[in-house]
């Protein structure tokens, strides 16, 4: 999963060595395993096994279910957020990312999410549009907190 996460990151963001840790995979793995082990957790990752490499993945779609204070169109406040969709470069155009996304959308629906947000790369946008996603003007801002 971390290898495919890196594939996604490399396709969306230009590499900034000042923001990268040489061992981020090793640091991330225990948390990833713990989150995946939570039976009723708010994190899901749907994958397709690589057909030619046992133990490797061909595609991944991961997301979280978040709570926001309710409003008229979402009184219970459940919101899905997709943050990592990637396909092994040699396995693209086979429907694997679509299968992962469709499964993730079912997971969100089963948990009461009223809408799902994501940030799309230019390459991934046609898939998301075909699944019903539309561009949404969002006045997002970010504050980077110091830390690990």
- pLDDT at residue 7, as a whole number: 83
- Phi, psi dihedrals of residue 97, rounded to the nearest 5°: -65, -40
Residue 97 covered by a domain: yes
Residue 145 covered by a domain: no
d(CA 124, CA 85): 9
Residue 40 covered by a domain: yes
Predicted confidence (pLDDT) per residue in 79-118, tens digit: 999 999 999 999 999 999 999 999 999 999 999 999 999 9
Residue 123 covered by a domain: yes
Residue 147 covered by a domain: no
* Domain count across the chain: 1
Q: Is the pTM of this model over 0.75?
A: yes
Residue 136 covered by a domain: no
Residue 42: count other Cβ atoms within 10 Å of its Cβ: 15
Residue 84 covered by a domain: yes
Query: By residue range, what is the domain housing residue 79?
Result: 2-130
- pLDDT at residue 14, as a whole number: 61
Q: Give the list of residues 6+ apart from residue 41 with CB closer than 8 angstroms, or none.
A: 35
Q: Write the CATH number for 65.
A: 3.40.630.30
């Amino acid at each position: 999963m971390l290898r495919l996460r890196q594939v996604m990151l490399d396709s969306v963001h230009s590499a900034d060595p000042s923001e990268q840790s040489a061992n981020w995979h090793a640091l991330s793995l225990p948390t990833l395993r713990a989150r995946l082990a939570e039976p009723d957790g708010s994190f899901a990752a749907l994958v397709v096994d690589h057909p030619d490499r046992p133990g490797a993945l061909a595609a991944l779609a991961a997301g979280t279910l978040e709570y926001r204070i309710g409003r008229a169109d979402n009184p219970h406040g459940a919101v899905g957020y997709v943050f990592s969709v990637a396909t092994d470069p040699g396995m693209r155009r086979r429907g694997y990312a679509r299968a992962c996304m469709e499964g993730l959308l079912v997971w969100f629906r089963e948990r009461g999410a009223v809408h799902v947000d994501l940030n799309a790369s230019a390459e991934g946008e046609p898939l998301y549009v075909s699944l019903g996603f539309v561009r949404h003007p969002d006045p997002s801002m970010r504050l980077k907190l110091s830390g690990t």
